[in-house]
Amino acid sequence: MYFYSMKKSSLYKGCLEPILLRLLKDHGRMYGYQMTQMVKDITKGELNITEGALYPLLHKLEEQGIVETETEMNGNRMRKYYSLTKAGKKQTNIAMDEMKAFMQSLEYIVNPKIALG
């Protein structure tokens, strides 16, 4: 008998972008690695953002003008700080509305008795 990972591929597929936008909205300027650590902390280790997902997404958001960057040196080590642009803040509000609707929908499905009519 083979043992294989029972770990489901991530449920948060599709939610990473709004998660990052929310972080930036709440905490202002942040650098990539910091985001991964903060999400891990906030979710008590549940959500672990991989670098392969994080950095390309941040680059895409920058291209789209949703975020802007400033690179700083911390000792000899680089940190690339991201913050929301004006357009990014607008987009974040939209994304948050969508997230709330989505979470409510999940509630309706997973807790049909508890969910509010």
Partner DNA sequence: AAATAATACATAATTTTCTTATGTATATAT
Partner DNA sequence: ATATATACATAAGAAAATTATGTATTATTT
Strand partners, 74: 77
If we measure between CA atoms, which residue out of 32, 37, 77 comes closest to residue 57? 32
Q: Which stretch binds its own copies (CB under 8 A): 55-63, 65-73, 80-88, 105-113?
A: 105-113
Touching its own copies, residues 67-96 (CB under 8 A): 94-96
Write the single-letter amino acid at 116: L
CB of 86: closest distance to DNA in angstroms?
22
> CA-to-CA distance for 50 and 116, rounded, in angstroms?
35
Partner in contact with 112, chosen from its own copies, DNA, none, beta carbon below 5 to 8 Å by kind: its own copies
Interaction site with DNA (CB under 7 A): 5, 8-10, 12-17, 31-34, 37, 49-53, 55-59, 74-80
If we measure between CA atoms, which residue out of 78, 56, 71, 61 comes closest to residue 23? 61
Are 24 and 82 contacting, i.e. CB atoms less than 8 angstroms apart? yes
Touching its own copies, residues 38-67 (CB under 8 A): 39, 42-44, 46-47
> CA-to-CA distance for 85 and 111, rounded, in angstroms?
37
Chain CA centroid to CA 113, Å: 29
CB of 29: closest distance to DNA in angstroms?
11
Cβ proximity to DNA: between 105 and 114 the closer is 105
Binding residues for its own copies, per CB under 8 A?
6, 8-15, 17-19, 22-23, 26, 39, 42-44, 46-47, 94-96, 98-110, 112
